[in-house]
Amino acid sequence: MGKYYKYFKRIIDLILFFILIIPSLVLIVLFSIILTIQFKSSPFFIQERGLTLTKHRLKILKLRTIKKDFSKVTSENDIFFKP
């Protein structure tokens, strides 16, 4: 590979990032507004995932797509039931 490949790839990565970040942010804001109106609460929640290399839990900010009190709607025979 050429000696400029690393720099060329980085420039392409940055260009694609800036092209894609604007539509992504617009969609996130739009869905946040819709979810706030629909659920009448915060559209975001924090989910903890597995351990990192330094033994810390990873926290991920996610869009809420199910109501908080969804367990009142499900039953034990439902596909959404989690024991």
Q: Determine the pLDDT at residue 6.
A: 87
pLDDT in tens, the chain (83 residues): 678 888 999 999 999 999 999 999 999 999 999 989 988 888 888 889 888 888 888 899 888 877 666 556 556 666 665 55
Helices (H) and strands (E) in the chain, counts: 1, 2
Q: Determine the pLDDT at residue 73.
A: 59
- Other Cβ atoms less than 10 A from the Cβ of 30: the count is 10
Q: Determine the pLDDT at residue 71.
A: 59
Q: Determine the pLDDT at residue 77.
A: 64
How far is residue 8 from each of residues 15, 28, 30, measured CA to CA in Å? 11, 30, 34
Q: For residue 58, which amino acid is it?
A: L
**Do the Cβ atoms of 42 and 64 come closer than 8 Å?**
yes
Q: Determine the pLDDT at residue 53.
A: 85
Domain boundaries of the chain, sorted by first residue: 5-72
